[in-house]
Amino acid sequence: MTAVALEPSAAVQVRRGVPWKTVLSLGIVMALADGYWMTTLRGAVGAIARTQGPFASWLRESLLSVPLFLLAVLAGVTLAMRLFGPARGTWRTVVATILVVAAAGTLAGIAELAVSSGYDYILQTHQLQRMDAIHPMCSTQNCLDIEQQRSLWLQVHSVAYGAVLLLITNLVAVGWITAMRGGRIDVAKLRTTDMSGAGDATPPASRVESVRMLLVLSLAATVVVYGATLPAYLSTSPVSGVVMFAVAALQLLLAALLLILPGRPAAIATAVVTGTLVALWLLSSTTGLPLGLGVGQPEAVGPALLATSLLETVSLILALVLLRDGAWLRRPDGFSDHARWMAAFAVVALTMLGLAGSGLPGLGNYGNTGDKPLTATSTHNHSGGATESVPPLNG
Tens digit of each residue's pLDDT (9 = 90 or more) over 246-283? 999 999 999 999 999 888 899 999 999 999 999 988 88
Pair 188, 17: CB distance under 8 Å: yes
Contacting residues for 117 by C-beta, under 8 A, at least 6 apart: 41, 45, 155, 156, 158, 159
Query: What confidence score (pLDDT) does residue 224 get?
Result: 95
For 193, the 3-state DSSP assignment is strand
Please state the rounded mean pLDDT for residues 48-63. 80
- pLDDT digit string, tens, across residues 339-376: 899 999 999 999 999 998 887 776 655 544 433 433 33
> Where is pLDDT greater, at 383 or 121?
121
Does 143 fall in a domain? yes
Give yes or no: residues 175 and 68 share one domain.
yes
Q: Are residues 113 and 235 in the same domain?
A: no
Residues 241, 285 share a domain: yes
Is 366 inside any structural domain? no
Task: Let me know whether 138 and 276 are in one domain.
Answer: no
50 found inside a domain = yes
Percent of the chain at pLDDT > 70 equals 73
- What's the confidence (pLDDT) of residue 5? 38
Residue-level pLDDT at 350: 94
Question: Which has more confidence, 6 or 174?
Answer: 174
Residue 130 counted as domain residue: yes
Q: Are the beta carbons of 164 and 39 closer than 8 angstroms?
A: no
Kindly indicate the confidence band of residue 287, based on its pLDDT and cuts at 50, 70 and 90. confident
Q: What pLDDT score does 101 carry? A: 96
What pLDDT sits at residue 291? Answer: 63
Tell whether 167 and 27 lie within a shared domain.
yes
Quick check: helix, strand or coil at residue 210?
helix
Domain termination residue (choose one: 191, 216, 237): 191
Per the structure, the complete domain to which residue 93 belongs is given by 14-191
3-class DSSP state for residue 227?
helix
Q: Do 122 and 89 have their domain in common?
A: yes
The last residue of one of the domains, among 142, 166, 191, is 191
> Taking each helix axis from N to C terminus, what angle separates 207-236 and 238-260, rounded to the nearest 10 degrees?
160
- 37 with 108, same domain: the answer is yes
Write phi, then psi, for 261 (nearest 5 degrees).
-125, 70
Specify the number of domains making up the chain.
Answer: 2
Q: What's the pLDDT at 154?
A: 86
Confidence of residue 190 (pLDDT cuts 50, 70, 90): confident
The 10s digit of each residue's pLDDT in 321-343 is 988 876 666 666 667 889 899 99
Cβ burial, residue 278 (10 Å; 0-12/13-18/19+): middle
Q: Are residues 213 and 176 in the same domain?
A: no
The answer to whether residues 147 and 80 belong to one domain is yes
pTM: predicted TM-score of the whole model, two decimal places: 0.80
